Structure 1
Amino acid sequence: MSSSVGPTATPPPAGSRTGAARAPQNKGWVSGMVLFAGVLMLVGGVLEVFRGIMAIAEDDVFVTTPRYVFRFDLTSWGWIHLVIGALIALVGFFVIKGAAWARITGIFLVSLGLIGNFLDLPYYPLWSLVVIALDVFVIWALAVYRED
């Protein structure tokens, strides 16, 4: 008398896909996160362009810090934000379209934007902190995505 408690087959090798039901659930969630990251890149890049224009046109909108180690002229910061923001928005568009190269480029550009916002922290502190937090999320969402 033998009783069968479970399947007697050997488990599949590590790294192989077994359940077809697991893949769509994971893919849908990650794809949604990448789409959301692409939209954040697009909108955040446009807002960075506007921030750059504000710094170029009106230096007195921002707080000035006289003894800041990474002090640049606000017009220089404006051009930095304008260029990086335009590139992030452009790459964000291609992330939304599903281009694989855009995810890698997006991680690089958003990282540059994060560093720029950190260095620009004394000039526009609250906005810089919000953008830094969003940039960390975008980098994470683009880094964990895996195509099937």
Structure 2
Amino acid sequence: MATHGAQPARTGWVGWIYFGAIVLVVGGIVQFVNGLIALAHSGSTYLLPSGMAVQVGFGSVAISFMIMGVVLAAAGIGVMSGRTWARVLAIALAVLSVLANIAFFPAYPVWSGVVIVLDVLVIYALLAHGRELRHR
């Protein structure tokens, strides 16, 4: 019996997909707020302990944080609504997160380990079970 176009049955992995999507949205909001804070402090002058004054410009960093925040939140919302492009983007972002946390593992072993495990679970859920959220 042919089942072309049939939706796969929902499994418990859908919860991990929603978890990953919510983490993306929350991470995007936090990233965007960090960008706003950096933008507010751009052009500030700081006095070093040696007495030297240093002017710091965070303008381009702030804009990149804000753009990344929008991309993260859009990917999370897209995953929750069952969009394939968002699933692909979310997987790519999770892979980048794993690589970044491998790089920082010597400095933050516990935190990096937790994030790597969560990223791997979300990657698996999106790859193996991501179609379960597609629109009917």
User: TM (normalized to structure 1)?
Assistant: 0.53
**1:88–1:110 CA contact under 8 A, matched in 2:** no
Looking at structure 2, the residues matched to 108 and 83 of structure 1 have their Cα atoms a distance apart, in angstroms, of 16
**Displacement of 1:98:** 1.3
Deviations 1:34-74 (A, max 9, x none): 011111111110110001111111246xxxxxxxxxxx953
Which residue of 2 is the match for residue 96 of structure 1? 80
Looking at structure 2, the residues matched to 79 and 110 of structure 1 have their Cα atoms a distance apart, in angstroms, of 22
Looking at structure 2, the residues matched to 146 and 109 of structure 1 have their Cα atoms a distance apart, in angstroms, of 15
**Displacement of 1:110:** 4.8
Which residue of 2 is the match for residue 133 of structure 1? 115
**1:87–1:109 CA contact under 8 A, matched in 2:** no
> How many residue pairs get matched?
103
Which residue of 1 is the match for residue 20 of structure 2? 37
Which residue of 2 is the match for residue 16 of structure 1? none
**Displacement of 1:82:** 0.7
From 69, 80, 92, the counterpart of 2:64: 80
**Displacement of 1:94:** 1.1
Cα distance change of structure 1 residues 28 and 105 upon mapping to structure 2, 3 Å threshold: same
Deviations 1:10-31 (A, max 9, x none): xxxxxxxxxxxxx96xx42211
Where do 4+ consecutive residues of structure 1 move more than 6 Å? none
Which structure is larger by alpha-carbon Rg, 1 or 2? 1
Q: CA RMSD in A?
A: 3.6
Which residue of 2 is the match for residue 10 of structure 1? none
Looking at structure 1, the residues matched to 66 and 12 of structure 2 have their Cα atoms a distance apart, in angstroms, of 32
**1:55–1:78 CA contact under 8 A, matched in 2:** yes
Unaligned runs of 5+ in 1: 1-22, 61-71
Which residues of 2 match residues 42-121 of structure 1 at below 5 A?
42-59=25-42, 74-111=58-95, 114=97
